[in-house]
Chains A and B, each alone.
Chain A
Amino acid sequence: MLSLNNLTVKVGNKEILKKISFEFAKGKIYAIMGPNGSGKSTLAYTLMGHPAYEVASGSLRLKNEDILSLPPEKRAEKGIFLSFQTPLSLSGVRINQLLQLALAGKKDPLTLRRTVQKYAKALKIKEELLTRSLNDGASGGEKKKMEVLQAAVLDKEIIIFDEVDTGVDIDALKTIAQFLDKTKGQKTYIIITHYQRILKYLKPDKVLVLADGKLRKVGDGKLAKLIEKKGYEDVINS
């Protein structure tokens, strides 16, 4: 579905990702783990097409189509969604305005409002958050829920969650994980995380370990547990 072949990425002159090759399959759940600075967020940004991340070599194909030359909005159109690690506050912009434009008229405003309300309820998002400026004065957990809400409404095939579990309390984490669990199998989830805890609710089909910009290890769900017990260094070197 989404295949990376020897992907090398630079920011300025610095190489952050080195020759990453991997194939993400349709309908599977992937966890990407790794120590701080290992290149996890760079990978997320690169897949989405952030202009600051330059692909020095290698290829990126979605359903066999080269998407490296596509700008972010085209990649979104092709079916990729990125849930941000630090969702931005947008003053004066309501979530419905954003989604209305993102859907490019595919849903009428009334249907959209109902859809947003339905998912907001399922995610236990306070009604008032929907009518004020996006993420303005929202807590860490609320911001992440708003990201998940957008992912659900926009209904893309591949959803990348960059630390959706960071800064989120246990109840919110459970709500998010259970919400995502309902649509698993239909979507490809790429979950970037430091912790095992979200993976308890959302069982990964594969766990990828990044270190120093390289893909060092690929395993099943047990690998995450092992990392929690032994730390990255031991797992990578074993």
Chain B
Amino acid sequence: MSNPQNNLDFDYRYGFAMPQNYTFKAKKGLNRRIVAEISALKNEPAWMTEFRLKSYDIFTRKTIPVWGADLSKIDFNDIYYYIKPTDKQVNSWADLPAEIKETYDRIGVPEAEKKFLAGVSAQYESEVVYESINRELDKQGVIFCDMDTAVRKFPDIVREYFGKLIPPPDNAFAALNSAVWSGGSFVYVPKGVTVTLPLQAYFRINDEKFGQFERTLIIAEEGSHIHYVEGCTAPIYTTDSLHAAVVEIIVKKGARVRYTTVQNWSKNVYNLVTKRARAEENAIMEWVDCNLGSQVTMKYPSVYLMGRGARGEVLSIAFAGRGQHQDAGAKMLHFAPNTSSRIVSKSIAKDGGRTSYRGLVQVMPGAKNSSVYVSCDALILDEASRSDTYPYMKIKENEVAVQHEATVEKLGEEKLFYLLSRGLKKSEAEGLLVNGFIAPVTKEIPMEYSIELNRLINLEMSGSVG
């Protein structure tokens, strides 16, 4: 193992933001030349350069959506679109530059946990610098690498699927991501292969005014099975940041994919993510989506149920505190017979925070014997907070079972009194009730994440998180 020569003897400070040693720092703002430069720096094939430039042109013609959260304060000229933290990729944890390790330690990626992970792909700034692929994955023929590497090493497969499920014209932020994307994961699971442990990736933004545009593509071949987990935590900054990711997932016949997100961006981030999956015959796609952080989130994971018997599920949690707006939901599109979808959404608004459930369920003509289940519950903790529900249903087939439930409740004074009478402090009682409210979703996510989530909720309730 070679001893890395770079940047190891810097003066460590106990601040949360680490000193940065970039080898390249782009200028703020965006134009065709910067897009071409990003592609050139990455040594990309011509087709990708073209794809980026075309996407940039589309982005310039797109309008920013006004039907959801307020996005008017995003200044697209005040954002860095690409930063490359180190020159080379590293293969083992030991080779990681110390400051990057420190950053991950602060997030709390435990040393011991690594043993249990099937692979770790840690994104620092906009490029994946650490990546460890378990031998077992290699043996099974599973590919798990960062998207940049995939473009170089597996061009045929990437070209076949990249930007097909979410083409650049889909929406302004998909177009923007397509133009300037960097990092993210590429996962390919061969036919019949089951990956038993969840694949995990840790993301964070670590530069002021730096936007992050990762791109993830997952292909699950026939009868394969995989669980992908992404979690992100970021330090608190004073100026706005933009996170606009794109995630595309292809779930082939009889395959099953679960994609779990625990999102805790700092409270100044605009988190505008497009997530879409295509489920073929008897395939199962499950999105588990937990949104705690960010200033504004707009995210509606969707499943296109294309094959007979396909099943889609979205389980989501949204928490909005002071100054936050979580506009989240799900989309289910039934194109084939015997398809089923289930949406369970739990949202919590506190200290003037705002949550919106925005969902679309569409059943196409001919999607007979399909079933739809939508349940959205909102919890409002005080008078200053707000919650809205926009559940759209377009059912164009008669032989369909549709079930829809929606509740809005306040944290009951009687329940609080009950717990206080047992000796719990008010913040403990609130934390317990809120965690109980989201339990149907948290019990579906890996334990270390649900513990972290419960802890974050308790911190929010005790008011010690700003």
- Partner pick for B420 among A72, A99, A103, A150, CB 8 A cutoff: A72
Which residue of chain B has its CB nearest to the CB of A99?
B422
Cβ B435 vs Cβ A73 within 8 A: no
Cβ B432 vs Cβ A102 within 8 A: no
Q: B residues touching A (Cβ–Cβ < 8 Å)?
A: 412-415, 417-426, 428, 432-433, 435-440
Cβ A73 vs Cβ B418 within 8 A: no
Cβ B439 vs Cβ A92 within 8 A: yes
A97 within 8 Å of B (CB atoms): yes
Contact flags A72-104 to B (C-beta < 8 A → 1, else 0): 110111000110100110111100011101111
A166 within 8 Å of B (CB atoms): no
Cβ A92 vs Cβ B424 within 8 A: no
Contact flags A22-62 to B (C-beta < 8 A → 1, else 0): 00000000000000000000000000111110000000000
CA A99 – CA B423 in complex, angstroms? 9
Cβ A92 vs Cβ B420 within 8 A: no
CA A93 – CA B431 in complex, angstroms? 11
A154 within 8 Å of B (CB atoms): yes
Asked if A73 meets B414 with Cβ closer than 8 Å, knowing A92-B438, A92-B440, the reply is: no
Residues of A within 8 A of B415 (CB): 88, 90
Residues of B within 8 A of A219 (CB): none
A133 within 8 Å of B (CB atoms): yes
Which residue of chain B has its CB nearest to the CB of A151?
B422
A71 within 8 Å of B (CB atoms): yes
Asked if A102 meets B422 with Cβ closer than 8 Å, knowing A50-B417, A72-B417, the reply is: yes
Asked if A73 meets B420 with Cβ closer than 8 Å, knowing A93-B433, A98-B432, the reply is: yes
Tell which of B412, B426, B432, B437 has the most Cβ of chain A within 10 Å: B432
Residues of B within 8 A of A76 (CB): 420-423
Residues of B within 8 A of A154 (CB): 422-423
Cβ A88 vs Cβ B433 within 8 A: no
Cβ A91 vs Cβ B421 within 8 A: no
Q: Please list 26 pairs of residues, one from A and one from B, whose beta carbons are closer than 8 Å in the complex, sorted by A's number.
A: A51-B417, A71-B420, A73-B420, A73-B421, A75-B421, A76-B421, A76-B423, A77-B423, A81-B421, A87-B418, A88-B414, A90-B418, A90-B419, A92-B437, A92-B438, A92-B439, A93-B432, A93-B435, A97-B432, A98-B424, A101-B432, A102-B424, A133-B436, A133-B439, A150-B422, A154-B423
Residues of A within 8 A of B422 (CB): 76, 81, 98-99, 102, 150, 154
CA A104 – CA B424 in complex, angstroms? 8
Residues of A within 8 A of B419 (CB): 90, 98
CA A154 – CA B421 in complex, angstroms? 11
Contact flags A122-156 to B (C-beta < 8 A → 1, else 0): 00000000000100000000000000001000100
- Please count the residue pairs between chain A and chain B whose beta carbons lie under 8 angstroms apart in the complex: 69
CA A50 – CA B420 in complex, angstroms? 9
Which residues of chain A in 187-212 are interfacial with respect to chain B, using CB atoms and an 8 Å cutoff?
none
Asked if A73 meets B425 with Cβ closer than 8 Å, knowing A88-B418, A91-B437, A98-B419, the reply is: yes
CA A87 – CA B412 in complex, angstroms? 14
CA A69 – CA B412 in complex, angstroms? 22
CA A93 – CA B443 in complex, angstroms? 12
Which residues of chain A in 92-123 are interfacial with respect to chain B, using CB atoms and an 8 Å cutoff?
92-93, 97-99, 101-104
Q: In whole Å, how far is A144's beta carbon from the nearest beta carbon of chain B? A: 14
Cβ A91 vs Cβ B439 within 8 A: yes
Q: In whole Å, how far is B459's beta carbon from the nearest beta carbon of chain A? A: 15
Q: In whole Å, how far is A9's beta carbon from the nearest beta carbon of chain B? A: 16
CA A104 – CA B428 in complex, angstroms? 10
CA A103 – CA B428 in complex, angstroms? 12
Residues of B within 8 A of A82 (CB): 421
Residues of B within 8 A of A91 (CB): 436-437, 439
CA A3 – CA B237 in complex, angstroms? 55
CA A92 – CA B421 in complex, angstroms? 19
CA A224 – CA B24 in complex, angstroms? 88
Q: In whole Å, how far is A227's beta carbon from the nearest beta carbon of chain B? A: 29
Residues of B within 8 A of A50 (CB): 417
Q: In whole Å, how far is B423's beta carbon from the nearest beta carbon of chain A? A: 4
Asked if A72 meets B433 with Cβ closer than 8 Å, knowing A91-B439, A92-B439, the reply is: no
Residues of B within 8 A of A75 (CB): 421
Q: 15 additional contacts, CB 8 Å, given A49-B421, A103-B423?
A: A51-B413, A73-B423, A73-B425, A76-B422, A76-B423, A81-B421, A82-B421, A88-B414, A91-B439, A92-B437, A97-B432, A98-B419, A98-B424, A98-B432, A99-B422
CA A226 – CA B322 in complex, angstroms? 61
Q: In whole Å, how far is A40's beta carbon from the nearest beta carbon of chain B? A: 17
CA A133 – CA B437 in complex, angstroms? 11
Residues of B within 8 A of A92 (CB): 435-440
Q: In whole Å, how far is B420's beta carbon from the nearest beta carbon of chain A? A: 4
Cβ B426 vs Cβ A90 within 8 A: no
Residues of B within 8 A of A81 (CB): 421-422
Q: In whole Å, how far is B306's beta carbon from the nearest beta carbon of chain A? A: 35
Residues of A within 8 A of B437 (CB): 91-92
Cβ A90 vs Cβ B424 within 8 A: no
Tell which of A50, A92, A101 has the most Cβ of chain B within 10 Å: A92
Residues of B within 8 A of A104 (CB): 423
Residues of A within 8 A of B420 (CB): 71-73, 76
Residues of A within 8 A of B428 (CB): 101
Q: In whole Å, how far is A93's beta carbon from the nearest beta carbon of chain B? A: 4
CA A117 – CA B415 in complex, angstroms? 25
